Amino acid sequence: MAPAVAGAASVAMSQALQDRQILDAVGTGAAALSLAGSSFIVLCYLLFRELRKFSFKLVYYLAVSDMFCSLFTIMGGPSNAFYCFAHDYSAHFFCVASFLWTTTIAFTLHRTVVKHKTDVEEFGSIFHLYVWGTSLATTVLRSIGSDYGRPGTWCWIHQGSMAKVLHLITFYLPLWGAILYNGFTYYEVNRMLNNATRMAAGISDRSNQSDIRADRKAFNRWGYYL
């Protein structure tokens, strides 16, 4: 009985390891594509001076954060505990920063399109403080209860329930917060643009109708003189 149980356990562990390797390969492939795309955006920003406007600066900072997030994701988990510690901090910092930069872009669009404000460039320093400060705070907070002495395949997998809870709070809370905020903001922006489109179409229709009536009056006058 014991050998059968041991064999079943060995098969289960082998299957779990294989599944984990597949997930790691998929994650690495996605990170490589993200790294290529973000690197292209950074290169374009550095090469073309006409792109260095405030709106594209936010996209540039987003691309830089995503580039480093993807890079550290591709690196996987170093076997040395100290390097695993540094890798974890770097990956978490830049990944959270990439989430937060998307919210600054959404905020800028909302303030420009919905509120019709032109002072968005004044928020540049506030955006940096918000993104880098929040990323640093969440990175330091998640180090509580972490065990870097036994790194696994990925360095941000820790031992202990406290570390797992902190990981959920410091990583997934900013992620879902950004998703919800961006979704609501883009809904407002899209609604405003649709309203503006309908108003423009209505004005165009009324203008066309006025032109038609004017043409009819002119035609009637011309017919009268004939």
Residue 181 domain flag: no
Query: Model-level pTM?
Result: 0.76
Q: Residue 29 corresponds to which tokens in the numbers above? A: 């492939």
> Does residue 91 register a pLDDT over 90?
no
Tokens representing 104 are: 């600054």
Which domain, by its residues, includes 23? 1-115
d(CA 35, CA 70): 5
Give the Cα separation of 38 and 53 in Å (integer).
18
Q: Are 126 and 111 in contact (CB under 8 A)?
A: no
Question: Does position 103 have pLDDT exceeding 80, yes or no?
Answer: yes
Statement: residue 218 has pLDDT above 50 = no
Report if residue 88 sits inside a domain.
yes
- What percent of the chain shows pLDDT beyond 70? 68
Residue 194 is assigned to a structural domain of this protein: no
Residue 207 lies inside a defined structural domain of this protein: no
Domain membership of residue 218 (yes or no) is: no
Contact 87, 72 (CB under 8 A): yes
Average pLDDT for residues 61-84, to the nearest whole number? Answer: 79
In a domain, 195, yes or no: no
Half-sphere exposure in the Cβ direction for 222 (13 Å, CA)? 6
Does residue 73 form part of some domain?
Answer: yes
Q: Is the dihedral of CA 103, 109, 111, 115 positive or negative?
A: negative
* Predicted pLDDT at 52: 84
171 found inside a domain = no
Q: In Å, what is the CA distance from 36 to each residue of 5, 74, 200?
A: 47, 12, 40
116: left (phi over 0), alpha (psi -120 to 50) or beta: left
Number of compact structural domains in the chain? 1
